[in-house]
Amino acid sequence: DAGVIQSPRHEVTEMGQEVTLRCKPISGHDYLFWYRQTMMRGLELLIYFNNNVPIDDSGMPEDRFSAKMPNASFSTLKIQPSEPRDSAVYFCASSQDRVGQPQHFGDGTRLSIL
């Protein structure tokens, strides 16, 4: 079975540019999560969706960050304008809509903002 698919795997861009990260969750999973991982702050939950609806975006650092889930098989995380401090690994994860189900993670996108 296909796991969570993220693209691109690596992104290098200059500050001020718009960055779009993409995620395809596992089919049949109703929850989708976006995380950011840095050495300083570890794994941080940015936002999560249930049935394509954003439930909690309290982890989104600034208005420069936005996330959408137009359908059950696709989500985007956008940063506009990007800044060097946004450099991190961004993970997408999905889980089934049953209590206690594990989250399954994509391979992550390593983002570098120059």
Partner 1 sequence: AQKVTQAQTEISVVEKEDVTLDCVYETRDTTYYLFWYKQPPSGELVFLIRRNSFDEQNEISGRYSWNFQKSTSSFNFTITASQVVDSAVYFCALTRNNAGNMLTFGGGTRLMVKP
HEC string of 33-83 equals EEEEEECCCEEEEEEEEECCEEEECCCCCCCCEEEEEEECCEEEEEECCCC
Answer yes or no whether residue 89 interacts with partner 1 by CB under 8 A. Answer: yes
58-77: contacts with partner 1 (CB under 8 A): none
Q: How far apart are CA 8 and CA 47, in angstroms?
A: 19
Answer yes or no whether residue 25 interacts with partner 1 by CB under 8 A. Answer: no
Q: How far apart are CA 29 and CA 104, in angstroms?
A: 10
Q: How far apart are CA 46 and CA 34, in angstroms?
A: 5
Answer yes or no whether residue 78 interacts with partner 1 by CB under 8 A. Answer: no
Answer yes or no whether residue 106 interacts with partner 1 by CB under 8 A. Answer: yes
Beta bridge partners of 43: 37
User: Binder to partner 1 among 38, 55, 85, 112 (CB under 8 A)?
Assistant: 55
Taking the complex as a whole, the smallest distance from the CB of residue 80 to partner 1 amounts, in Å, to 25
User: Binder to partner 1 among 100, 111, 113, 114 (CB under 8 A)?
Assistant: 100
Residues of this chain that bind partner 1 (CB under 8 A): 31, 33, 42-43, 45, 48, 50, 55-56, 89, 91, 93, 95, 99-108, 110
